[in-house]
Amino acid sequence: MNLLQAGTSNIVFNDFPQFSKGDRYILFLQKTTETPNTDYFIKGAISGVYRVDDENTITKIVLPDETLEDIELAQIQSDSEIEQQVLDKKLFEDLVEKEGELN
């Protein structure tokens, strides 16, 4: 599987650097339509990225989602002033399992 991410190691896209070895994320992916079947991109670009912080919390990197307020632990701002949403990891996993996919 190939994951396509906007930007390069030298060019940051939407204030979001390239993934690094050891990073842990939950991503919502979609197959590309014009490249090999093994290529995927992140659905919703950066809005489909959730960083795994530890065994109990994940952070929605950008654009807090009102539908996730019931499992929200806090809202914070990143160093680049982007609003982020800290979520209960277990409740998020349960929601995704129940709903199948988020917006």
pLDDT tens, residue by residue, 50-70: 999 999 999 998 888 899 999
Query: For the chain, how long is the longest CA-to-CA vector?
Result: 40
Cα end-to-end distance, the chain, whole Å: 23
83 pLDDT higher than 90: no
The three state secondary structure string of the chain is CEEECCCCCCCCECCECCCCCCCCEEECEEECCCCCCCEEEECCHHHHEEEECCCCEEEECCCCCHHHHHHEEEEEECCCCCEEEEEEHHHHHHHHHHHCCCC
Domain interval for residue 12: 2-99
85 pLDDT higher than 70: yes
Average pLDDT over residues 4-21: 66
Tokens 């990197």 found at = 61
State pLDDT tens for residues 21-33.
Answer: 888 988 888 888 7
pLDDT of residue 62: 82
The pTM of the full predicted model, rounded to 2 decimals, is 0.75
103 pLDDT higher than 60: no
Banded pLDDT at 1 (limits 50, 70, 90): low
Banded pLDDT at 94 (limits 50, 70, 90): very high
- Count of structural domains, the chain: 1
Distances (CA, A) of 58 to 12, 24, 26, 43: 22, 10, 9, 18
